[in-house]
Amino acid sequence: MTDAPIGNPLLTDTDLPDFAAIRPEHVVPAVTALVDDHRAAVDRITTSGASGFGDVVLASERADFTLSRGWSPVGHLHGVADTPDLRAAHAQAQAMLSEYFAVAGQNRDLYAALIRVADGAGFPDLPAADRRAVELGIRGFRLSGVALEGDAQARFREIGTTLSRLGTEFGNAVLDATEAWSEHVIDDAALAGVPPSALAILRSYAVEKGLDGWLVTLRQPSVQAILTYATDRDLRARVYRAYNTRASDQSDSPQFDNAARIAQIVALRHESAQLLGFSDAAARSVETKMAQSADEALAFLADLARRARPLAEADLADARAFAKTEFEIDTLMPWDMGFVAEALRRQRHGLDEEAIKAYFPLPHVLSGVRSLVERLYGVRLIAREGVSVWNASVLYYDLVGVSGVPFAGVYLDLHARGGKRGGAWMDVCRPRFRDADRTHTPVAYLTCNFAPPTPDRPALLSHNDVLTLLHEFGHVLHHVLTEVDLPSIGGISSVEWDAVELPSQFMENFGWDKATLAEVSRHVDTGAALPDDLYDRMLGARRFQAGLFLLRQIEFATFDLRLHRDFDPAVGAQVEQTLAKVRAEVSVMAPPEWSRFANAFGHVFAGGYAAGYYSYLWAELLSADAYEGFAEAGPAAGDVFRREILSRGASRPAADSFAAYRGRAAKPDALLRHYGLAA
Catalytic residues: 472
515 Cβ neighbours under 8 A, 6+ residues apart: none
400 beta partners: 380, 406
Whether residue 534 contacts residue 543, with contact meaning beta carbons closer than 8 Å, is answered with no
Per-residue HEC secondary structure of 151-204 comes to HHHHHHHHHHHHHHHHHHHHHHHHHHHHHHCEEEECCHHHHCCCCHHHHHHHHH
Instruction: Please report the sign of the dihedral spanned by the C-alpha atoms of residue 7, residue 10, residue 11, residue 13.
Output: positive
Q: What's the rounded Cα separation, in Å, for the pair 332 and 324?
A: 8
Q: What's the rounded Cα separation, in Å, for the pair 458 and 358?
A: 10
Closest C-alpha to 644, from 628, 660, 632: 660
Instruction: Please report the sign of the dihedral spanned by the C-alpha atoms of residue 227, residue 230, residue 231, residue 236.
Output: negative
Whether residue 311 contacts residue 497, with contact meaning beta carbons closer than 8 Å, is answered with no
Whether residue 262 contacts residue 560, with contact meaning beta carbons closer than 8 Å, is answered with no
Instruction: Report the chain's terminal Cα–Cα distance, integer Å.
Output: 61
Q: What's the rounded Cα separation, in Å, for the pair 509 and 562?
A: 30
Q: Vertex 563, ends 557 and 567: CA angle to 5°?
A: 155
Q: What's the rounded Cα separation, in Å, for the pair 366 and 370?
A: 6
Rounded alpha-carbon distances, angstroms, from residue 75 to 68, 90, 427, 490, 600: 10, 7, 10, 20, 19
Kindly give the pairing relationship between strand 380-383 and strand 214-217.
Answer: unpaired
Reduced DSSP (H G I as helix, E B as strand, rest coil) percent helix, strand, coil of the chain, to 5:
60, 10, 30
414 Cβ neighbours under 8 A, 6+ residues apart: 362, 393, 395, 446, 447, 448, 450, 459, 469
Residue 568 phi, psi (nearest 5): -125, 115
Q: Is 320 helix (H, G, I), strand (E, B) or coil?
A: helix
Whether residue 273 contacts residue 284, with contact meaning beta carbons closer than 8 Å, is answered with yes
Q: What's the rounded Cα separation, in Å, for the pair 88 and 254?
A: 21
Rounded alpha-carbon distances, angstroms, from residue 574 to 560, 562, 581: 12, 10, 11
Residue 23 phi, psi (nearest 5): -125, 155
The CB-side HSE value for 88 (13 A sphere, CA atoms) comes to: 5
Cα 482 to the center of its chain, rounded Å = 19
Whether residue 268 contacts residue 368, with contact meaning beta carbons closer than 8 Å, is answered with no
